[in-house]
Structure 1
Amino acid sequence: MSHWKIVDDYFRNNNVSGAISYLNGFLSANNAQQFGSIVGASFTNPPSSVLAEINRFIEANEKQFDVKAVYLEINGFDINHERWYFDLFAYSSYSENVDDTEWLCNWQSDQWPEIDLTGMTSAQEAFAWYHNERIWKSQPELKSVYEASMLLITAKFAQLIGTALEAGHLFKAIPVLATAHGFESLVRYEPWHITVVSPWLIGQISSVLTTPISFHVRTAPSFFNRSPDDTDL
């Protein structure tokens, strides 16, 4: 089974950490050469700053239309190794069909400033080495390592987004999707896959009943657990 299929299965099951563990293991067990530096590397953008930018983006677009989903895409980093960044796109509709990605080509948001990604200098140098030195031609056996490295960067980007979403409250409880440019496999952070009962809602319901009631509450990540009194950012 190819790396692409294995990682796609991990992504479909929202198991980003599993994908990272698998790819780290593969690179560590093989002669990854310069790509070996990716195993211990990670993006250093502060998660709270990433979340704040996502929230600003959603809030700005909410003034134009009812935002139903947001898609975040890292640029074609393997051949654009000088600068890594991600773009933000907003949509007025959302497809839950995991096999349907065509709708992502039709976003409704206006252009938004790109967000630079930091902390992966050694990884950028590895991709520059692979292309500038024409390693793909002199060492064709390294292709599997190269593909695993691309997937690992994508998974670590998705991990950054997941960590950012856990850093606070999302402006609106909508799906946030993430992957790399040109990739069909993507990670979906969907609010309705988690049972959410807000403590604020429990208090409101209990206050109008004469008999005290109790709820079994499954705590959701904070970015999907907002009350009307919460601040947006």
Structure 2
Amino acid sequence: MESDLDKYISKFYSIVKLKYALSFGKKLKAFYCEMNGFTINYDRWFIDLFSFSKIGQEDYDWLSDYDHLTKIDLTITGFENLQKVYEDVYKNKKIEIPEIEQAYEVAELLIILRLQELFRKTYQSAKSNEKKWTEFPMFVTAHDYEMIYQTK
């Protein structure tokens, strides 16, 4: 069964494939997924996709120079209880409590790792179903984080 993420990527791929075909000299080289700034936007966690005709070599600054992006984001579900915790920590300034700050930082990393794991599994499944978009790498992280995962 095709997941919502698989459908979302497939739809974006079909749109950008056509745009690159009509754009002389540019060819699709990579995708990028960015989750919104979830630590302060606890009301809704979502992702956007971007496409690129160039891949940078030394750092990830090139990720800000995309060719196309999704017009509609994809809401991430299943983390609503965590979102309530983030809301409580943010609204009640609990981040100033050292033990909470430490747990908060670990939770941030775990959330990003879970997002990256979701993409890894989606790519594996789509690859076994011979989806064309799996031929292109996807770089995955959250807004303002440098912990970037690249699908293979």
TM range (shorter): 0.7 to 0.9
Task: Please say which structure displays the higher CA radius of gyration.
Answer: 1
Aligned equivalents of 1:77 and 1:119: distance in 2? Answer: 14
**Equivalent in the alignment of 1:175:** 137
Q: Confirm whether residue 50 of structure 1 aligns to residue 5 of structure 2.
A: yes
Note the C-alpha offset of 1:143: 1.6
Q: Deviations over 1:121-145 (max 9, x none)?
A: 11101111111111022x1332221
Q: Is the 8 A contact 1:81 1:124 kept in 2?
A: yes
**Equivalent in the alignment of 2:23:** none
The structure-2 alpha-carbon separation of the partners of 1:47 and 1:183, relative to structure 1 and needing over 3 Å to count, comes to farther
Q: Is the 8 A contact 2:50 2:66 kept in 1?
A: yes
The structure-2 alpha-carbon separation of the partners of 1:151 and 1:112, relative to structure 1 and needing over 3 Å to count, comes to same
Task: Pick from 55, 61, 70 the counterpart of residue 94 of structure 1.
Answer: 55
- Amino-acid identity (%): 26
What TM-score do the two structures reach when normalised by structure 1? 0.58
**Equivalent in the alignment of 1:128:** 87
Which secondary structure does the structure 2 equivalent of 1:83 belong to?
Answer: coil
Q: Is the 8 A contact 1:88 1:112 kept in 2?
A: no
Note the C-alpha offset of 1:85: 0.5
- RMSD between aligned alpha carbons? 1.6
Query: What does 1:143-154 align with in structure 2 at a 5 Å threshold?
Result: 143-154=101-112
The size of the alignment, in residue pairs, is: 142
Structure 2 unaligned blocks of 5 or more: 21-26
Note the C-alpha offset of 1:47: 6.1
Q: Which runs of 4+ in 1 moved over 6 A?
A: none
Aligned equivalents of 1:170 and 1:89: distance in 2? Answer: 18
Note the C-alpha offset of 1:55: 1.6
Note the C-alpha offset of 1:112: 2.2
Structure 1 unaligned blocks of 5 or more: 1-45, 191-233
The structure-2 alpha-carbon separation of the partners of 1:114 and 1:134, relative to structure 1 and needing over 3 Å to count, comes to same
Q: Deviations over 1:141-175 (max 9, x none)?
A: 32221111011100001111111112223323010
What TM-score do the two structures reach when normalised by structure 2? 0.86
The structure-2 alpha-carbon separation of the partners of 1:104 and 1:81, relative to structure 1 and needing over 3 Å to count, comes to same
Aligned equivalents of 2:136 and 2:145: distance in 1? Answer: 22
Query: What does 1:34-73 align with in structure 2 at a 5 Å threshold?
Result: 48-65=3-20, 66-73=27-34
Which secondary structure does the structure 1 equivalent of 2:19 belong to?
Answer: coil
Q: Deviations over 1:165-186 (max 9, x none)?
A: 1222332301011110100110
Which secondary structure does the structure 1 equivalent of 2:132 belong to?
Answer: coil
Q: Confirm whether residue 104 of structure 1 aligns to residue 63 of structure 2.
A: yes
